[in-house]
Amino acid sequence: MIKAILFDGDGVVINKPMQFSECFEKDFNVPISEMLLFFKNEFQLCLTGKADLKEVIKPYLSKWNWEKSVDDLLDYWFKSENYIDSRVIDLIEKCHSKNIKCYIHSNQEKYRTDYMKETMGLNKVVDGMFSSAYLGVKKPEQEFWQKIFDEIQPALKEEVLVLDDDEENIISAKKFGFNAESYKDFDKLQEDFKKYIN
């Protein structure tokens, strides 16, 4: 019997039509290739809380032809990815009606984590949110799941279902002992729910 479900943030609960870098290229004519260096390097440290996004992004503002403040850039960034899937929220509410705890898990830096909780209001929708920036480790590391499991007990591993759109994370979650299903689209998600939840 499933007692807890871990929903991936981006890709399951949040389904954005474009990534921030794609929006930025479209709106400001800055090639995505110009932004990749940042996301492959400094941003990775932000995802585990080892660097502060507001600090490490500063040197890139001029390269990206951004004339406003760092806060203005993050505001643009986070708004460009603010697309909550209401259908998934409805499923979460149904789970709560069956006394199933629902959580969000995400490889996420701290400022967007807080934005997702407060501005997007996800802290009012789920029972908790697990972000790599605050856990200090990313998916698909086994330690990521262990830290979450330590928090959501007394559920047993076999009573936890992970939903994620990255196959590597699905394999990792199963290795840890959780049930896990790959998110492809909402229709498949509904089928997965029928399999695990009455």
Question: Whole-prediction pTM value?
Answer: 0.95
pLDDT tens digit sequence for 77-112: 999 999 999 999 999 999 999 999 999 999 999 999
Task: Tell which of 80, 106, 122 closes a domain.
Answer: 80
DSSP string of 50-119? SS-HHHHTGGGTTTTT--S-HHHHHHHHHHHT--B-HHHHHHHHHHHHTT-EEEEEE---HHHHHHHHHT
Domain carrying residue 47: 20-80
> How does residue 154 score in pLDDT terms, banded at 50, 70 and 90?
confident
In this structure, are 111 and 182 located in the same domain? yes
Residue 180 sits in a domain whose CATH number is 3.40.50.1000
Same domain, 90 and 129: yes
Q: Kindly report the number of other CB atoms within 10 A of residue 123's CB atom.
A: 14
